[in-house]
Amino acid sequence: MEKEGIRLPKIAFIGAGSLVFTKNLVRDLLTFPAFQGCTIALMDINEERLGFAKKMVENIAEAGGYQVNIEATTERAAALKGADGVLCTILAGDLPIWRTDLEIPKQYGVDINIGDTRGPAGIFRYLRTVPAMMEICRDIERYCPDAIFLNYTNPMAMLCRTMQGESGIQVTGLCHSVQGTAAMLARWIGAPTEEITYTCAGINHQAFYLEYKWNGKDAYPLIRDAVTNRQEVYNEEIVRNEMFLHLDYYVTESSGHNSEYNAWFRKRPELIEKYCLPGTGWNPGEYALTIKSAEKRRANWNEQMITWRDSPIDLKRGNEYASYIFNAVFGDQTLFEFNGNVRNFGLIDNLPEGACVEVPVLASRKGLSPIHVGPLPDQLAVLVNTSARCEELAVEGALTGDPRKIFHAICFDPLTSAVLSLAEIKEMVDKMFEVNKDWLPQFKHLT
């Protein structure tokens, strides 16, 4: 779209039927003057959800008095053609298949809370999702090769590692847990968030605040005091608080997620009862409740779509990174530093070379520039290396169609290996391959 001879930006939303993400990201984007008159191209394969998304964006534009050209299409090529920025929030597969990610491991005693990031559940979710993500990358190469591609789809690290290794486009993955946890810690110590600075690094959902300062002074003693002496603070995030008290650094993602990324909290029922059920943040500790919640959402999805579409619109800009990144690169070009998922080429010294890490990244008119962090503290490097190397094995298995590498990746998953023998893991993985075979074209011998 052009205005007085000036080409205005186009931003494509792939998976726009994810209404909460679309609503928040469009709202944020349109608060920037540089995007007045821009084109928002909404794409989803579900026409009904797409219609809800289009109406919702129209409501935002009307409420804010924004000038915006809104397109809605089920054709990905049409949405991507000429785009400057691309956002992805797709889900490959629905409840009937992804519930098996939780239910099959549970049959073997591996009690997973959420299962969208790593471990047996996250790996099979990745295997189902990566073909679609690579198709999106190929279309970006074809229709908008210079676009900035921001991914919100999980499992973040394995998908970004694959896309960055197999495509030349500018792509990074975003997770709101970094800024969300930073704000939570600020609340615990009574600090205004604008007075907080930090350096955060690791891998997605398992990054740690290597520094956390309030007006330039180390705030970790204040955080330790709050966690140790205020029961309500301890109870808010029991798993993460236990990790902090013993590992000395605070991890980014919620207790529900982190309870399944290590060997300490979910290997026995009494540990789940003590650490997970009362304090896993937004998600209950029992896997069946995760499934039940999803079933309820799907049963009432039409009502929820109407609620999200028509709910009062708060036009205040949120703290998601995407709009700030686009503004820095092709908006008014205000520099913006954020934590993104990129391959580890000289960024974290004691994590695997080439693995996907989550580190500070500078967005500017030059594009996306990752920032060297150095080594993680030794105790963190041991934990994070295990997850990163399992993810590397899973990516290699997906790229080569080798199920043996997938089995080996799950063999060393901390929670799985704390519960099962090697023979039991093999049996579990074989069963997961069987139920997923129709979703895994890269494993030709399974079909």
Which residues are tagged catalytic? 176
Q: What is the mean pLDDT of each run of 10 residues along the chain (447 residues)?
A: 69 92 93 96 94 92 95 97 95 83 96 94 97 97 98 96 97 95 98 98 98 98 98 96 98 95 96 83 50 59 66 85 96 95 98 98 97 98 98 97 97 98 98 94 71
Helix (H) or strand (E) holding 384: helix 378-400
pLDDT value at residue 284: 42
DSSP string, 329-351: HHSS---EEEEEEEE-SSSBTTS
> How far is 72 from 47, CA to CA, in rounded Å?
9
Residue 205 annotated in ligand binding: yes
Contact in structure between 101 and 439 (CB atoms under 8 Å): no
Residue 154 annotated in ligand binding: yes
The domains found in the chain, sorted by start residue, are 97-115+175-285+320-447 (3.90.1820.10)
SS3 sequence of 219-288: CHHHHHHHHHHCHHHHHHCHHHHHHHHHHCCCECCCHHHHCCCCCCCCCCHHHHHHHHCCCCCCCCCCHH
pLDDT value at residue 19: 84
Q: How many CB atoms lie within 10 A of CB 426?
A: 15
Structure tokens at 165: 């290794």
pLDDT value at residue 301: 60
Residue 408 annotated in ligand binding: no
Strands (E) across 95-190 are located at 148-151, 170-173
